[in-house]
Amino acid sequence: MSWILLIAFDRWADSVILFAHGDGQWFGQDGFPSVVLGSPDTSATPSAPSMDVLSLGKFGFIILQFRDSVVVDGPGDDLVIFENVFITSADSSDTSAFVEPAYVFLSKDGRFFFMYPFDTSDANPYNWTGLAGIKPTNYGADTTNPDVWMGDRFDISAVGLDTVRFVLIADAMDLCPSSLCSGFDLDAAGCINCGYEQADYSIQFPVMASGMGADTSLYYSLSIIDGIYTSLGLEGIVIYNLNVFNHPGVDFVVRSNSPLRIYGGTGHFMNAFYTDTRPDTLGEIDSLLSRDIRSPFSVGDTLSLIAVRGAGYAGVDGVQVVDVSVEERWVPSSGDFVEVFDVAGRMIFRGRFGTFEGEGVFLVRSGSRRTVIMKRRR
Protein backbone atom coordinates (compact mmCIF):
# COMPACT_ATOMS: atom_id res chain seq x y z
CA MET A 1 0.00 0.00 0.00
CA SER A 2 1.43 3.38 -0.98
CA TRP A 3 1.18 6.50 1.12
CA ILE A 4 2.17 10.14 0.74
CA LEU A 5 3.47 12.56 3.37
CA LEU A 6 1.01 15.33 4.17
CA ILE A 7 1.93 18.99 4.35
CA ALA A 8 -1.48 20.18 5.60
CA PHE A 9 -3.18 17.66 7.84
CA ASP A 10 -5.12 16.96 11.01
CA ARG A 11 -2.56 15.14 13.12
CA TRP A 12 -4.85 14.10 16.01
CA ALA A 13 -6.81 10.88 16.52
CA ASP A 14 -10.38 11.65 15.51
CA SER A 15 -12.45 8.60 16.47
CA VAL A 16 -12.92 6.29 19.46
CA ILE A 17 -13.60 2.75 18.28
CA LEU A 18 -13.99 1.17 21.70
CA PHE A 19 -13.63 2.09 25.38
CA ALA A 20 -13.38 -0.72 27.94
CA HIS A 21 -13.50 0.73 31.44
CA GLY A 22 -11.73 -1.06 34.26
CA ASP A 23 -12.16 -0.76 38.00
CA GLY A 24 -11.47 2.58 39.61
CA GLN A 25 -12.49 6.12 38.90
CA TRP A 26 -14.85 7.36 36.20
CA PHE A 27 -13.22 10.76 35.73
CA GLY A 28 -13.84 12.51 32.40
CA GLN A 29 -16.65 10.34 31.08
CA ASP A 30 -19.07 13.26 30.96
CA GLY A 31 -16.93 14.58 28.09
CA PHE A 32 -16.59 11.28 26.23
CA PRO A 33 -15.55 10.93 23.45
CA SER A 34 -14.45 14.48 22.61
CA VAL A 35 -12.27 14.65 25.72
CA VAL A 36 -9.69 12.33 24.08
CA LEU A 37 -10.03 13.57 20.49
CA GLY A 38 -8.17 16.49 19.00
CA SER A 39 -5.10 18.17 20.44
CA PRO A 40 -3.92 17.97 24.07
CA ASP A 41 -4.70 20.67 26.61
CA THR A 42 -2.64 23.80 25.89
CA SER A 43 -2.72 24.80 29.57
CA ALA A 44 -0.88 21.67 30.72
CA THR A 45 2.71 22.04 31.90
CA PRO A 46 5.14 19.52 33.40
CA SER A 47 4.26 20.76 36.90
CA ALA A 48 0.53 21.48 36.36
CA PRO A 49 -1.15 18.67 34.41
CA SER A 50 -4.39 18.80 32.45
CA MET A 51 -7.67 17.69 34.00
CA ASP A 52 -9.29 17.52 30.56
CA VAL A 53 -8.67 13.77 30.42
CA LEU A 54 -10.46 10.41 30.46
CA SER A 55 -9.57 7.82 33.09
CA LEU A 56 -9.41 4.29 31.70
CA GLY A 57 -9.77 2.80 35.17
CA LYS A 58 -7.51 0.05 36.45
CA PHE A 59 -6.68 -2.32 33.57
CA GLY A 60 -9.12 -0.51 31.25
CA PHE A 61 -8.25 0.10 27.61
CA ILE A 62 -9.27 2.25 24.65
CA ILE A 63 -8.91 1.99 20.86
CA LEU A 64 -8.41 5.22 18.91
CA GLN A 65 -8.52 5.59 15.14
CA PHE A 66 -6.92 8.03 12.73
CA ARG A 67 -9.32 8.71 9.86
CA ASP A 68 -8.24 12.03 8.32
CA SER A 69 -4.59 11.06 8.37
CA VAL A 70 -2.43 8.05 9.18
CA VAL A 71 0.72 7.63 11.26
CA VAL A 72 3.60 6.81 8.92
CA ASP A 73 7.09 5.52 9.57
CA GLY A 74 9.34 8.51 9.00
CA PRO A 75 12.46 10.02 10.54
CA GLY A 76 12.63 9.51 14.30
CA ASP A 77 9.46 9.00 16.35
CA ASP A 78 6.12 8.85 14.54
CA LEU A 79 3.40 8.85 17.24
CA VAL A 80 2.90 10.82 20.46
CA ILE A 81 0.49 10.07 23.34
CA PHE A 82 -0.32 12.51 26.16
CA GLU A 83 -1.34 11.69 29.75
CA ASN A 84 -1.54 14.04 32.74
CA VAL A 85 1.85 13.10 34.18
CA PHE A 86 3.35 15.79 36.39
CA ILE A 87 6.70 16.52 38.03
CA THR A 88 6.33 16.28 41.81
CA SER A 89 9.27 18.52 42.70
CA ALA A 90 9.47 22.31 42.76
CA ASP A 91 12.87 21.94 41.11
CA SER A 92 12.20 22.14 37.37
CA SER A 93 15.30 20.08 36.66
CA ASP A 94 14.04 17.19 38.81
CA THR A 95 12.58 14.10 37.17
CA SER A 96 10.53 12.81 40.09
CA ALA A 97 7.12 12.37 38.50
CA PHE A 98 3.74 10.85 39.25
CA VAL A 99 3.19 8.35 36.45
CA GLU A 100 0.29 6.04 35.58
CA PRO A 101 1.72 3.88 32.79
CA ALA A 102 -0.06 2.11 29.95
CA TYR A 103 0.91 -0.49 27.37
CA VAL A 104 0.64 0.65 23.74
CA PHE A 105 -0.53 -1.64 20.92
CA LEU A 106 -0.39 -0.50 17.28
CA SER A 107 -2.37 -1.73 14.27
CA LYS A 108 -2.45 -1.07 10.57
CA ASP A 109 -5.47 -3.17 9.63
CA GLY A 110 -7.78 -3.17 12.68
CA ARG A 111 -7.38 -6.92 13.19
CA PHE A 112 -3.88 -7.42 14.59
CA PHE A 113 -2.44 -5.05 17.20
CA PHE A 114 1.19 -5.40 18.26
CA MET A 115 2.53 -4.42 21.68
CA TYR A 116 5.21 -1.76 21.60
CA PRO A 117 8.42 -3.04 23.27
CA PHE A 118 9.11 -1.39 26.61
CA ASP A 119 11.84 -1.18 29.24
CA THR A 120 11.14 -0.65 32.96
CA SER A 121 14.59 -1.57 34.26
CA ASP A 122 15.53 1.95 35.40
CA ALA A 123 14.87 2.67 39.08
CA ASN A 124 13.26 6.00 38.12
CA PRO A 125 9.97 5.45 36.22
CA TYR A 126 10.54 8.76 34.42
CA ASN A 127 13.25 6.99 32.44
CA TRP A 128 11.10 4.04 31.40
CA THR A 129 10.67 3.67 27.63
CA GLY A 130 8.03 2.19 25.32
CA LEU A 131 5.06 3.01 27.58
CA ALA A 132 2.50 5.81 27.62
CA GLY A 133 1.91 7.85 30.79
CA ILE A 134 5.60 8.47 31.56
CA LYS A 135 6.43 11.97 30.29
CA PRO A 136 4.48 15.19 31.10
CA THR A 137 2.74 17.44 28.56
CA ASN A 138 4.18 20.73 27.34
CA TYR A 139 2.07 21.18 24.21
CA GLY A 140 1.13 24.80 24.95
CA ALA A 141 4.77 25.94 24.86
CA ASP A 142 4.61 25.94 21.05
CA THR A 143 1.73 24.11 19.39
CA THR A 144 3.55 24.12 16.03
CA ASN A 145 6.77 22.51 17.24
CA PRO A 146 6.61 18.78 18.15
CA ASP A 147 10.14 18.97 19.55
CA VAL A 148 8.91 20.80 22.67
CA TRP A 149 5.63 18.95 23.29
CA MET A 150 7.08 16.19 25.47
CA GLY A 151 4.54 13.36 25.92
CA ASP A 152 5.45 9.73 25.14
CA ARG A 153 6.80 9.02 21.66
CA PHE A 154 6.86 5.89 19.56
CA ASP A 155 8.68 4.82 16.40
CA ILE A 156 6.22 2.50 14.67
CA SER A 157 9.00 0.61 12.91
CA ALA A 158 9.70 -1.01 16.31
CA VAL A 159 6.64 -3.23 15.72
CA GLY A 160 7.38 -3.74 12.02
CA LEU A 161 4.69 -1.42 10.63
CA ASP A 162 5.00 1.27 7.98
CA THR A 163 1.63 2.86 8.82
CA VAL A 164 -0.63 2.87 11.87
CA ARG A 165 -4.32 3.73 11.81
CA PHE A 166 -5.44 2.23 15.15
CA VAL A 167 -3.87 2.72 18.59
CA LEU A 168 -4.87 0.60 21.60
CA ILE A 169 -3.83 2.02 24.98
CA ALA A 170 -4.17 -0.40 27.94
CA ASP A 171 -3.74 0.70 31.55
CA ALA A 172 -0.73 -1.02 33.13
CA MET A 173 -1.75 -1.00 36.78
CA ASP A 174 0.62 -3.89 37.39
CA LEU A 175 3.55 -1.56 36.62
CA CYS A 176 2.30 1.47 38.54
CA PRO A 177 4.88 2.55 41.14
CA SER A 178 2.41 4.41 43.40
CA SER A 179 -0.47 3.16 45.55
CA LEU A 180 -2.39 6.26 44.43
CA CYS A 181 -2.69 5.04 40.84
CA SER A 182 -6.30 4.70 39.74
CA GLY A 183 -6.05 4.25 35.98
CA PHE A 184 -4.27 5.81 33.00
CA ASP A 185 -5.70 9.27 32.17
CA LEU A 186 -5.73 9.85 28.42
CA ASP A 187 -5.50 13.37 27.04
CA ALA A 188 -4.72 12.96 23.31
CA ALA A 189 -2.81 11.01 20.68
CA GLY A 190 -1.36 12.35 17.45
CA CYS A 191 0.97 11.60 14.58
CA ILE A 192 4.36 13.29 14.45
CA ASN A 193 4.98 11.85 11.00
CA CYS A 194 1.63 12.07 9.26
CA GLY A 195 0.52 10.87 5.87
CA TYR A 196 -2.45 9.99 3.72
CA GLU A 197 -3.09 6.37 2.81
CA GLN A 198 -5.61 5.34 0.16
CA ALA A 199 -7.24 2.63 2.26
CA ASP A 200 -10.44 2.27 4.25
CA TYR A 201 -9.64 0.09 7.23
CA SER A 202 -12.15 -0.83 9.93
CA ILE A 203 -12.07 -3.01 13.02
CA GLN A 204 -12.36 -6.72 12.15
CA PHE A 205 -13.41 -9.30 14.72
CA PRO A 206 -12.01 -11.06 16.52
CA VAL A 207 -9.52 -8.31 17.31
CA MET A 208 -6.21 -9.67 18.58
CA ALA A 209 -3.90 -7.36 20.51
CA SER A 210 -0.83 -9.52 20.85
CA GLY A 211 1.48 -8.99 23.79
CA MET A 212 5.08 -10.09 23.99
CA GLY A 213 5.28 -13.81 23.23
CA ALA A 214 1.91 -14.06 21.44
CA ASP A 215 1.26 -16.54 18.64
CA THR A 216 -0.60 -14.75 15.84
CA SER A 217 -0.39 -17.84 13.60
CA LEU A 218 -3.24 -19.36 15.65
CA TYR A 219 -5.52 -16.36 15.05
CA TYR A 220 -8.29 -18.44 13.48
CA SER A 221 -8.47 -20.69 16.55
CA LEU A 222 -9.49 -17.76 18.74
CA SER A 223 -13.19 -18.02 17.90
CA ILE A 224 -13.78 -21.71 18.55
CA ILE A 225 -13.25 -24.08 21.44
CA ASP A 226 -11.14 -26.77 19.81
CA GLY A 227 -8.60 -27.64 22.49
CA ILE A 228 -5.96 -25.38 20.92
CA TYR A 229 -4.93 -22.56 23.24
CA THR A 230 -3.84 -19.42 21.40
CA SER A 231 -1.16 -17.52 23.29
CA LEU A 232 -2.10 -13.87 23.75
CA GLY A 233 1.34 -13.10 25.15
CA LEU A 234 1.96 -10.59 27.93
CA GLU A 235 -1.25 -8.65 28.76
CA GLY A 236 -2.64 -9.61 25.36
CA ILE A 237 -6.28 -8.89 24.50
CA VAL A 238 -8.83 -10.53 22.22
CA ILE A 239 -12.21 -8.90 21.46
CA TYR A 240 -15.17 -10.94 20.22
CA ASN A 241 -18.27 -9.71 18.43
CA LEU A 242 -21.03 -11.98 19.78
CA ASN A 243 -24.67 -11.88 20.78
CA VAL A 244 -25.12 -12.96 24.39
CA PHE A 245 -28.51 -12.79 26.10
CA ASN A 246 -28.84 -12.58 29.86
CA HIS A 247 -30.53 -15.34 31.82
CA PRO A 248 -30.18 -16.72 35.36
CA GLY A 249 -26.82 -18.35 35.89
CA VAL A 250 -23.98 -18.71 33.44
CA ASP A 251 -24.22 -16.77 30.16
CA PHE A 252 -20.93 -17.72 28.53
CA VAL A 253 -17.74 -19.65 29.14
CA VAL A 254 -14.23 -18.45 28.32
CA ARG A 255 -11.78 -21.30 27.94
CA SER A 256 -8.31 -20.28 29.15
CA ASN A 257 -5.23 -21.80 30.69
CA SER A 258 -4.43 -18.86 32.94
CA PRO A 259 -6.15 -15.95 34.72
CA LEU A 260 -7.98 -13.34 32.61
CA ARG A 261 -9.75 -10.05 32.99
CA ILE A 262 -13.13 -10.00 31.25
CA TYR A 263 -15.09 -7.07 29.79
CA GLY A 264 -18.46 -6.87 28.07
CA GLY A 265 -20.81 -4.35 26.55
CA THR A 266 -22.36 -2.99 23.38
CA GLY A 267 -21.56 -0.38 20.77
CA HIS A 268 -18.47 1.62 21.70
CA PHE A 269 -18.38 0.79 25.41
CA MET A 270 -17.45 -2.19 27.55
CA ASN A 271 -17.20 -2.50 31.31
CA ALA A 272 -15.12 -4.87 33.41
CA PHE A 273 -16.79 -8.00 34.75
CA TYR A 274 -13.94 -9.16 36.88
CA THR A 275 -10.27 -8.67 37.60
CA ASP A 276 -8.09 -11.76 37.85
CA THR A 277 -10.43 -14.67 37.15
CA ARG A 278 -9.56 -18.33 37.25
CA PRO A 279 -8.99 -20.38 34.09
CA ASP A 280 -12.13 -21.68 32.30
CA THR A 281 -14.08 -18.66 33.45
CA LEU A 282 -17.86 -18.64 33.69
CA GLY A 283 -19.32 -15.26 32.73
CA GLU A 284 -22.61 -13.69 33.77
CA ILE A 285 -24.06 -10.48 32.43
CA ASP A 286 -25.37 -9.86 35.95
CA SER A 287 -21.79 -9.02 36.85
CA LEU A 288 -21.90 -6.14 34.39
CA LEU A 289 -25.33 -4.89 35.46
CA SER A 290 -24.38 -4.79 39.12
CA ARG A 291 -21.48 -2.40 38.56
CA ASP A 292 -21.40 1.37 38.81
CA ILE A 293 -22.25 2.42 35.24
CA ARG A 294 -22.62 6.15 34.64
CA SER A 295 -23.74 8.53 31.92
CA PRO A 296 -23.23 8.63 28.95
CA PHE A 297 -23.23 4.84 29.13
CA SER A 298 -26.10 2.59 30.10
CA VAL A 299 -26.85 -0.92 31.26
CA GLY A 300 -28.28 -3.57 28.99
CA ASP A 301 -29.70 -7.06 28.91
CA THR A 302 -27.52 -8.33 26.06
CA LEU A 303 -23.87 -8.16 25.09
CA SER A 304 -22.54 -7.69 21.58
CA LEU A 305 -18.89 -7.41 22.62
CA ILE A 306 -16.78 -9.54 24.95
CA ALA A 307 -13.10 -8.89 25.56
CA VAL A 308 -10.62 -11.00 27.49
CA ARG A 309 -7.28 -9.65 28.63
CA GLY A 310 -4.51 -11.74 30.08
CA ALA A 311 -3.53 -11.06 33.67
CA GLY A 312 0.10 -11.46 32.68
CA TYR A 313 0.71 -14.21 30.11
CA ALA A 314 -2.42 -16.06 28.97
CA GLY A 315 -3.77 -18.47 26.39
CA VAL A 316 -7.37 -18.60 25.15
CA ASP A 317 -9.31 -21.48 23.58
CA GLY A 318 -12.35 -19.47 22.53
CA VAL A 319 -15.66 -18.32 24.02
CA GLN A 320 -18.76 -20.48 24.23
CA VAL A 321 -22.15 -18.77 24.52
CA VAL A 322 -24.68 -20.56 26.72
CA ASP A 323 -27.81 -20.59 24.57
CA VAL A 324 -30.95 -21.11 26.64
CA SER A 325 -34.38 -19.56 26.53
CA VAL A 326 -35.93 -18.85 29.90
CA GLU A 327 -38.57 -16.67 31.44
CA GLU A 328 -37.12 -14.42 34.13
CA ARG A 329 -38.69 -11.97 36.53
CA TRP A 330 -36.70 -10.21 39.21
CA VAL A 331 -38.77 -7.64 41.09
CA PRO A 332 -39.02 -5.93 44.49
CA SER A 333 -41.61 -7.19 46.95
CA SER A 334 -45.16 -6.71 45.75
CA GLY A 335 -46.69 -3.55 47.12
CA ASP A 336 -43.42 -1.70 47.73
CA PHE A 337 -43.54 2.00 46.88
CA VAL A 338 -40.94 2.47 44.16
CA GLU A 339 -39.57 4.84 41.57
CA VAL A 340 -38.68 3.13 38.28
CA PHE A 341 -36.18 4.64 35.82
CA ASP A 342 -35.23 3.56 32.32
CA VAL A 343 -31.57 3.02 31.46
CA ALA A 344 -31.24 6.63 30.31
CA GLY A 345 -32.15 7.79 33.82
CA ARG A 346 -35.69 9.02 33.05
CA MET A 347 -38.34 8.25 35.68
CA ILE A 348 -41.10 6.23 34.04
CA PHE A 349 -43.11 5.11 37.08
CA ARG A 350 -43.77 6.17 40.67
CA GLY A 351 -46.10 4.19 42.88
CA ARG A 352 -46.75 0.69 44.22
CA PHE A 353 -44.72 -1.88 42.40
CA GLY A 354 -47.56 -4.31 41.86
CA THR A 355 -49.16 -1.82 39.47
CA PHE A 356 -46.06 -1.40 37.26
CA GLU A 357 -45.93 -3.27 33.97
CA GLY A 358 -43.05 -3.28 31.52
CA GLU A 359 -40.43 -5.41 29.83
CA GLY A 360 -36.75 -4.60 29.68
CA VAL A 361 -34.05 -3.36 32.04
CA PHE A 362 -34.94 -0.80 34.70
CA LEU A 363 -33.38 0.96 37.67
CA VAL A 364 -35.61 0.70 40.72
CA ARG A 365 -35.36 2.84 43.86
CA SER A 366 -37.44 2.07 46.93
CA GLY A 367 -37.45 4.45 49.90
CA SER A 368 -34.01 5.04 51.35
CA ARG A 369 -32.68 1.77 49.99
CA ARG A 370 -30.07 1.87 47.30
CA THR A 371 -31.07 1.64 43.68
CA VAL A 372 -31.14 -1.89 42.25
CA ILE A 373 -31.36 -3.13 38.70
CA MET A 374 -34.47 -5.00 37.66
CA LYS A 375 -34.61 -7.19 34.57
CA ARG A 376 -38.11 -8.08 33.54
CA ARG A 377 -39.39 -9.91 30.51
CA ARG A 378 -42.17 -12.32 29.66
12 and 36 both lie in a single domain: yes
Listed range (109-113, 120-124, 280-284) with the worst mean pLDDT:
280-284
326 in a structural domain: no
Amino acid at 148: V
Q: What is the pLDDT of residues 26-47, one digit of tens each?
A: 888 888 999 999 999 999 999 8
How large is the C-alpha radius of gyration of the chain? Answer: 22
24 in a structural domain: yes
23 and 170 both lie in a single domain: yes
327 in a structural domain: no
Domain residues for the domain of 271 are: 212-321
Contact 254, 280 (CB under 8 A): yes
* pTM metric for this prediction: 0.84
Which of 44-48, 210-214, 264-268, 366-370 is modeled with the greatest confidence?
Answer: 210-214
140 and 288 both lie in a single domain: no
26 and 157 both lie in a single domain: yes
Q: Give pLDDT, residue 359.
A: 66
- CATH code for the domain in which residue 272 is found: 2.60.120
Q: Give pLDDT, residue 370.
A: 47
| Mean pLDDT rounded to a whole number for the chain | 85
Task: Say which residue, 279 or 244, is predicted with more confidence.
Answer: 244
Task: Say which residue, 56 or 369, is predicted with more confidence.
Answer: 56
11 and 153 both lie in a single domain: yes
Q: What is the pLDDT of residues 324-377, one digit of tens each?
A: 543 344 456 667 788 877 655 578 888 887 777 776 666 677 765 445 556 554
Which residues lie closer than 8 Å to 49 by C-beta, 6 or more apart? 84, 85, 86, 136, 137
Q: Give pLDDT, residue 11.
A: 94
152 and 226 both lie in a single domain: no
The C-alpha angle 89, 91, 96, rounded to 5 degrees, equals 40
172 in a structural domain: yes
> Which pLDDT band holds residue 378 (cuts at 50, 70, 90)?
very low
219 and 186 both lie in a single domain: no
Q: 307: closest CA among 355, 277, 271?
A: 271
13 and 81 both lie in a single domain: yes
Indicate the number of domains in the chain.
3
What 3 state SS string does the chain have?
CCEEECCCCCCECCEEEEEEECECCCCCHHHCCHHHCCCCCCCCCCCCCCCCCEECCECCEEEEECCCCEEECCCCCCEEEEECCEECCCCCCCCCEECCCEEEEEECCCCEEEECCCECCCCCHHHCECCECCCCECHHHCCCCHHHCECEEECHHHHCCCEECEEEEEECHHHCCCCCCCCCEEEEEEECCEEEECCCCCCCCCEEEECCCCCHHHHHHCCCCCCCCEEEEECCEEEEEEEEECCCCCCEEEEECCCEEEEEEECCEEEEEECCCCCCEEECCHHHHCCCCCCCCCCCCEEEEEEEEECCEEEEEEEEECCCCCCCECCCCCCCEEEEECCCCCEEEEEEHHHCCCCEEEEEECCCCCCEEEEECC
Q: In what order do the strands lie in the sheet with 185-191?
A: 54-55, 185-191, 79-83, 152-154
Q: What is the pLDDT of residues 130-152, one digit of tens each?
A: 999 999 999 999 999 999 999 99
Task: Say which residue, 318 or 170, is predicted with more confidence.
Answer: 170
Q: Give pLDDT, residue 329.
A: 42
